[in-house]
């Protein structure tokens, strides 16, 4: 049966572009009310045009869905809690979280300074901690939560120039492993997805022929599965265009 999210409220971070945008559109098309988060401002700087998050909300509304834009910077805990409070006030709960916001500061390790390292950890790892933290108590109280963290093969196997990004993404897998266990008894399921898709993050890394095949939308069904009622927990899923593979599923007794 097709996955539906009617009555569910989702937050997708970094949803102004790329993967996050595709996931927000997908979840909304399946009935979720979606908080489209992105801290990015209007690109042309005129002040008159929509932010990327607002533009995605427009797309969702035109397609008949329900969404609100939120400009929280995920690396600022106060902004993240305000976003969750706003969603809860408007729509009653936050049931689904897709932590997808991210930045790159690639440099060979010899050239990478402490600020390059700390900044990337701040957005990906600390920011993901903040998002999970902000939704956690509500999910526990309601005995329902589905969380998916966007990680990367860089965090599992490493990539040149990505000591910061790889460390952050590996840290997110570590966070998922613990949250999956601690959430188990409250029906909170936590997973990671490690996507390969054509986004601003990968356009300089992959050849054009490969990028043409790797639309972000191709990853969305795997994310929808990991946010569904029947989601597994504690899975590291690798997803490329047109296919996805479970790299590792760890099932242990709840603690
Ligand atoms: P990908 O689609 O591969 O995740 P993108 O660069 O296309 O890569 O999208 C990442 C999104 O995350 C961007 O739209 C960016 O504005 C957003 N983002 C980056 N840092 C933050 C942050 N601190 N808070 C909220 N959104 C962020």
Q: What is the distance of C-alpha 73 from the center of its chain?
A: 14
Using CA atoms, how far apart are residues 134 and 121, in angstroms rounded to an integer?
A: 18
Pairing of strands 9-12, 33-37: parallel
40 lines ligand 1 (CB under 6 A): yes
CA-closest residue to ligand 1 atom 19 = 102
pLDDT digits (tens, 9 = 90+) for 112-168: 999 999 999 999 999 999 999 999 999 999 999 999 999 988 888 888 899 999 999
Structure-token match 């690798």, residue found: 238
204 lines ligand 1 (CB under 6 A): no
By the 8 A CB rule, do 37 and 74 touch? yes
CA-closest residue to ligand 1 atom 15 = 14
ipTM above 0.90, yes or no: yes
Burial 27-59 (b: 16+ CB within 10 A, else e): bbbbebbbbbbbbeeeeeeeeeeebbbbbbbeb
Closest Cα to residue 171, out of 156, 183, 181? 156
74 lines ligand 1 (CB under 6 A): yes
**Distance (Å) from CA 131 to ligand 1 centroid:** 14
194 lines ligand 1 (CB under 6 A): no
**Sites in the chain below the pLDDT cut of 70:** 42-48, 197-202, 205-206, 213, 241-255
CA-closest residue to ligand 1 atom 8 = 201
**Distance (Å) from CA 73 to ligand 1 centroid:** 10
Atom of ligand 1 nearest to the CA of 76: 23
Q: Is 144 a catalytic residue?
A: no
Active-site choice (130, 144, 165, 225): 165
Element (H, E) at 156: helix 153-156
Q: Quote the pLDDT of residue 17.
A: 92
Q: Full-prediction pTM beyond 0.95? A: no
């Amino acid at each position: 049966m097709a996955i539906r999210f009617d009555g569910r409220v989702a937050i997708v971070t970094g949803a102004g572009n790329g993967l996050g945008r595709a996931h927000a559109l997908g979840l909304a098309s399946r009935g979720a009310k979606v908080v489209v988060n992105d801290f990015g401002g209007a690109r042309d700087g005129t002040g008159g045009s929509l932010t990327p998050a607002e533009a995605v909300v427009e797309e969702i509304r035109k397609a008949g869905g329900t969404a609100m834009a939120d400009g929280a910077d995920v690396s600022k805990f106060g902004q993240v809690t305000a976003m969750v409070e706003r969603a809860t006030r408007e729509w009653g709960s936050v049931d689904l979280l897709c932590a997808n916001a991210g930045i790159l500061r690639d440099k060979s390790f010899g050239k990478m300074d402490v600020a390059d390292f700390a900044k990337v950890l701040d957005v990906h790892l600390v920011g993901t901690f903040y998002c999970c933290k902000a939704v956690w108590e509500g999910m526990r109280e309601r005995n329902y939560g589905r969380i998916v963290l966007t990680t990367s093969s860089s965090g599992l196997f490493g990539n040149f120039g990505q000591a910061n990004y790889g460390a952050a993404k590996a840290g997110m897998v570590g966070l998922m492993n613990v949250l999956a266990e601690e959430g188990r008894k409250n029906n909170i399921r936590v997973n990671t997805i490690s996507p390969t898709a054509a986004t601003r993050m990968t356009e300089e890394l992959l050849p054009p022929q490969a990028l043409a095949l790797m639309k972000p939308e191709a990853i969305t069904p795997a994310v929808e599965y990991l946010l569904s009622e029947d989601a597994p927990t504690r899975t590291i899923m690798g997803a490329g265009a047109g296919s996805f593979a479970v790299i590792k599923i760890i099932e242990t007794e709840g603690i």
